[in-house]
Structure 1
Amino acid sequence: MDYLNYIDGAWISAESKETLSSINPANTNEVIGHFPSSSEQDVDFAVKAAKQALKGWRKQSSIDRGNYLHKTADLLEDRIEDIAITATKEMGKTLAECKGEVARGVAILRYYAQEGYRKTGDIIPSADSRNLLYTTRVPIGVVGVISPWNFPIAIPIWKIAPALVFGNTVVFKPASETSITAAKIVEAFHEAGIPKGVLNLVQGRGSIIGDAIVNHRAVNGITFTGSNQVGKKVAGIAAGRGAKFQLEMGGKNPTIVLEDADLNLAAELTVSAAMKHTGQKCTATSRCFVQSSVYDLFKQKIIDKVKNIKVGSGLDPDTYMGPLASSSQLDTVAGYIEKGKEEGATLLIGGNVLKENEYEDGFYVEPTVFENVKNEMVIAQEEIFGPVLCLIKIDTFEEAIDQANDTQFGLAASLFTRDLAKSLAFIDEIEAGMIKVNGESAGVELQAPFGGMKGSSSYSREQGQAAIEFFTSTKTITITPTA
């Protein structure tokens, strides 16, 4: 089936009339659909539509804007099965995970619909008692949303929903790997009656469409989730022309397991954080620092759990870990596994690309665990974005903190312990924006701020009430009555 761009309230082909194909990573013989191969001209058309729509959209009350989100949430909820199956077929993760993600998208829409009822300013005391001194928030304008393939439902929605409820208009560029899923999300907004031009979808190659959005002088802000390499480019261009930008990028997230931890819980959640979603989460655990006194016992628990992981199509209800999202992703992960061997790390389990029988037409790799990993190794420093876990033996809590912080990233971190003092020290000393104690590094509740430190983020935050900081600007007003 062919899917189209959505610009100025209408479904239209790219100006070039050319299309690209979305392929099932579990079975590359299956084409999920075709989507437009758009150009800079298509982006310009979408941005102009968004700019024109901004005039009326920002004048609507935030409560009215929130009602469109409520209607969209109801439509998505009715289509959970269809959208989840599409997402599973497009990028590979299990159907259960995709259903959970659609449900999260529904909840995010309803959360931000209610944000339309919150205050947008404060009354401030003035040195002159006659003055009325107050603040209010206004939309920043046209927002470019550039989202990744690993969470093709939740991440676009947690960008689009607050952008809209706070009065902005949007030009949305999804990852090519999940273009069909994106079209189905936008279809729900369309059927909810969103005014024309308020939300626009432009499909195509990131090198063309993403660049055009970031460079467009009428785009006032860019919210981007993706690789560090592209994120730095976005920041440079946006800063150069004075646009607001928000970046969420990579992670090399540590989990620390101390000798007093519940080892069964720690093993279960470490494997979950490392291997679910095929390790393709920016918050996935990739380094696990384990105190030497319990290292051997914990290592065996990890191996036992990884041995029982079923790899297969995400549509199989027994599958724990689906394929990687693309051939390039498979090549990247396989390359890092080989690099780990070359560096002298010991392969404990996994490490093979799966190509026989039911795996021959997909992008499958075994869940992989290394030990004897030194923290300076490439596999311990660079984001692999695959199901590869590095076990690192440490003697003390202090040593674990030092090594956990020894990375360019600072997104998520977790600690397993029963020691309250060490828990508090961990919270204070770890260089990460998302912190868990006795929980897995991956994931955060939708009402809480999401974001990282160091190379993981632009130090901005998404989700929750923190979203208002990026999607609005503050006006300070003084009214002085005259006699």
Structure 2
Amino acid sequence: MTQVYLNYINGIWKPSSNEQTFDSKNPADVNEKIGVFPSSTTKDVNEVVASAKDALVEWRELSAHVRGNYLHKAADILESRADDIAQTATREMGKTFVETKGEVLRGVSILRYYAQEGFRNIGENIPSADSKNLLYTMRVPVGVVGVISPWNFPIAIPIWKMAPALVYGNTVVLKPASETAITAIKIIEAFADAGFPKGVINIITGKGSVVGDRIIHHPNVNAVTFTGSNDVGKQVAFACLNRGGKYQLEMGGKNPAIILDDADLDLAAELTVNGAMKHTGQKCTATSRAYIHKDIYDVFKQKVLKKVNAIKLGSGLESDTYMGPVASSSQLDTVLHYIDAGIAEGATLLTGGKVPESKVYKYGYYVEATVFEDVTNDMRIAQEEIFGPVLCLIKVDGLEDALQQANDSRFGLSASLFTNDIGKAFTFINKIEAGLIKVNGESAGVELQAPFGGMKESSSHSREQGQAAKEFFTSIKTITITPIS
């Protein structure tokens, strides 16, 4: 019997008001139905926002230490259910169990990190020009926060948005991507079982054009934090701006790796391939362009091809799988479209580029790991985000040539450099136009206590995670107290 999952509104698990549902299917085998979840309406959004607004009154009055204790409880429950949630995420969006299990454990660590915020200083004393005055600041919650999360990191991203929002005294309405709605519901089950007061944490599923659109336009949603495509991000920004709401956007990337002639080529090849192909390339920080010094280009290319051709494609639940399917039929169509565009524009396809023919892959959204060369910077595959396992190899004369081409992009999320020259490393750090910079490291990933975010069109120039999160999820009050005698 197909399991039915529900919205969580004001402490109650309930169907949508129209009782309509969507199916969740396994992208590794579309014949497998994982469950059904609500196709919610604007009426449901209005209800969930009202519950979050009502809950805000008492939640914000609790100390941050008490709020943090709820996060500790949620972390313990989430950890105890790590295998089940990871398996669900793998079945819903395809990436390997090792990757989704790691994501759950990262979520646990994020919750524990923010649970300690009750012991950290989030205001400051300021010297006054009048020695009699007491001048200081305090931070207060923004209010009701709408969290719109993507399908590619269905566990870590909503948690790194919700955890700081909650500990700083806000209430939350989570709208997850439909591709991973059941995973998100299981996360909220952990929060619910941790005993959060009713209305503090909520989840509502459904179409972005209905549920998401109502959230971003709702007058009682004080802030929206969004991760997803640039096109939708712009809609979020315009909607919030028009009604005076706060917004935070993390969007696309077209992330370069630069490999210089003094680099450790084995390390560079391994991490470039990992950055491009793990998670099936479905990361905003995935490596999509490799700028390689001409003197080591051929050697490096062969190392990359050897690693790519050894990639095991299959179900993410199989222990020896390196790369699972893409998340949906529409995502598969997008990846294949870009591969065709690369060939049409004159790039040379070195390996991959097709849907695998074996009957093992017949019912899934599989595409081979793909590598191009003879790519110029004006090609679509060098400029547009593909969000799939496609890597472009580009020959350069040296660091300055690589920097010029790497910066020739509307995106600026992450970038990596492989070198043993400390001077060149600092030149790269100073000149690359990206928010996340790695030297001798994979372009993807950042530790949870550090700020995360991009430049240019990759973000709204705010930062998530770490202590930077307080900038979005709180507002500052400046107070002056003057004695009257």
Deviation at 1:298, TM superposition (A): 0.2
- 1:214 and 1:199 mapped to 2: Cα distance? 17
Residues 257 and 289 of structure 1 are in contact (CA less than 8 Å); yes or no, is this contact kept in structure 2?
yes
**Aligned twin of 2:362:** 360
1:20 matched to 2:22? The reply is yes
**Aligned twin of 1:162:** 164
**Aligned twin of 1:74:** 76
**Aligned twin of 1:350:** 352
Query: TM-score, normalised on structure 2?
Result: 0.99
- State the AA in 2 paired with 1:351: G
- 1:418 and 1:17 mapped to 2: Cα distance? 60
RMSD: 0.5
- 1:21 and 1:354 mapped to 2: Cα distance? 26
**Aligned twin of 1:172:** 174
Query: TM-score, normalised on structure 1?
Result: 1.00
Consecutive unaligned residues in structure 2, runs of 5 or more:
none
- 1:261 and 1:53 mapped to 2: Cα distance? 55
- How many pairs does the alignment contain? 483
Deviation at 1:481, TM superposition (A): 1.4
- 1:121 and 1:384 mapped to 2: Cα distance? 42
Deviation at 1:478, TM superposition (A): 0.5
1:316 matched to 2:318? The reply is yes
Q: Which among 264, 267, 271 is matched to residue 265 of structure 1?
A: 267
Residues 355 and 361 of structure 1 are in contact (CA less than 8 Å); yes or no, is this contact kept in structure 2?
no
Deviation at 1:116, TM superposition (A): 2.0
Tell me which stretches of 4 or more aligned residues in structure 1 moved more than 4 Å: none
- State the AA in 1 paired with 2:420: R
Deviations 1:189-236 (A, max 9, x none): 000000000011000011111100000000000000000000011111
Residues 355 and 362 of structure 1 are in contact (CA less than 8 Å); yes or no, is this contact kept in structure 2?
no
Residues 176 and 204 of structure 1 are in contact (CA less than 8 Å); yes or no, is this contact kept in structure 2?
yes
Question: Secondary structure of the equivalent of 1:274?
Answer: helix
Q: Which among 50, 64, 67 is matched to residue 48 of structure 1?
A: 50
- 1:471 and 1:355 mapped to 2: Cα distance? 49
**1:318-337, aligned counterparts within 5 Å?**
318-337=320-339
- State the AA in 2 paired with 1:76: L
- 1:259 and 1:343 mapped to 2: Cα distance? 29
Question: Secondary structure of the equivalent of 1:369?
Answer: strand
1:404 matched to 2:406? The reply is yes
Question: Secondary structure of the equivalent of 1:178?
Answer: helix
Q: Which among 187, 190, 199 is matched to residue 189 of structure 2?
A: 187
Q: Which among 144, 147, 155 is matched to residue 145 of structure 1?
A: 147
1:475 matched to 2:477? The reply is yes
Question: Secondary structure of the equivalent of 2:119?
Answer: coil
- 1:116 and 1:130 mapped to 2: Cα distance? 30
**Aligned twin of 1:92:** 94
Q: Which moved more, 1:410-419 or 1:346-355?
A: 346-355
Q: Which moved more, 1:121-130 or 1:266-275?
A: 121-130
Deviations 1:40-68 (A, max 9, x none): 11110000000000000000000000000
Question: Secondary structure of the equivalent of 2:135?
Answer: strand
Deviation at 1:355, TM superposition (A): 4.5
Deviations 1:404-463 (A, max 9, x none): 000000000000000111100000000000000000101110000000000000000000
**Aligned twin of 1:62:** 64
Structure 1 residues 355 and 20: alpha-carbon distance in aligned structure 2, compared to 1, 3 A threshold: farther
- 1:410 and 1:374 mapped to 2: Cα distance? 19
Deviations 1:50-94 (A, max 9, x none): 000000000000000000000000001001110000000000000
1:460 matched to 2:448? The reply is no
